[in-house]
Amino acid sequence: MTVREPSVLPFVRNPRTTLNVAAGLGFDVEQLARTCPTLRPTATKSLEIFARLHDSARITLHEGGREARLVLAPLVPNAYSSTFAETAITMIAQLARHLTGRELRATSVRFDHPRHGFAAELDAFFGCSVVFDAGRDEIAFPAIYLDLELPHPEGAVASDDDAPVSGVERSASGLPSEPPVSQPPISAVSPVSQEGIFLPLLRGHMENELKRGDASLARVSSLMGLQPRTLQRRLHDVQTTYQDLLEEIRRGLALQYVGAGSSPLATVARELGFREASAFSRAFRRWTGATPRDYRTMARRRHVETTSYAVERTPRQW
């Protein structure tokens, strides 16, 4: 059986993906590189932009001793998905590396959601063992990173204070000696448009907003930084529609909530945006050929049978 890769992996594997998405969301990376002397003010400005883009979550900077942490936290229940959390933390690391030109490593990374089959790739990317089921979403790093000077774009006039720190000076001052990172030129960055980037990001927003009760085209378009007509046109370009994509996401969540969950079916219907339980039941029958109640009963029976078989197959301990 083919295992579906997490949507975060394009951000891990290709820095350009992060730069494309950042540009599409309104992060002017070129301006940050041109106007900020160190990483600290870029962090401050980026958090302000994030707060304007997302009214259901915040990223806050915490400093203590030699370590600093960027913490992603929900402002309302079910504010974002695990995909959103992994993507946000990964983009933070990629943008910091791009702006400083250094292969910055995290001291720790924690996610609230369970570990998945591609966690080892995240370990390699962040340079540490990522902790899952941690009860929070955050990335920690040496506090001295915040004061790393940013390379000036070509044509910029640097003062004496802006001169690059040599390897000897960096060692004497305690700055980490990190190898340079090969990054695509900022001029190559374009808004979100590629299918491999656009659809995973859109799905994450739609799933998040569906759980919050407003997965309307207008709402999700604003989160994507696009006009509704532009979003519809881009969906047409990849041969789908907003309604079709929403139905697909609803179906996936319905199978998850009904098959593996314990919430009352009326609650599930409401969380998926159905005003009436009867409408949800009709849709579920169209998706699966069974009513939600019958599907849950069959799923529980299969779980009991599988568990019983596993117990019978377990060797006895003498």
Rounded distance, CA 83 to CA 81, Å?
5
Is residue 160 over pLDDT 90?
Answer: no
Question: Which of the residue ranges 31-40, 178-187, 305-314 would you say has the lowest mean pLDDT?
Answer: 178-187
59, β-bridge pairs: 72
Task: Give the residue extent of every domain in the chain.
Answer: 9-182, 195-309
CATH of 195-309, one of 1.10.10.60, 2.60.40.1250, 2.60.40.10, 1.10.510.10: 1.10.10.60
Residue 183, pLDDT score: 39
Residue 305, pLDDT score: 59
Residue 5, pLDDT score: 53
Residue 284, pLDDT score: 92
Whole-model pTM? 0.52
Burial of 37 (0-12, 13-18, 19+ CB in 10 A): middle
* pLDDT band at residue 173 using 50, 70 and 90 as cut-offs: very low
Q: Tokens 């309604």 sit at which residue? A: 243
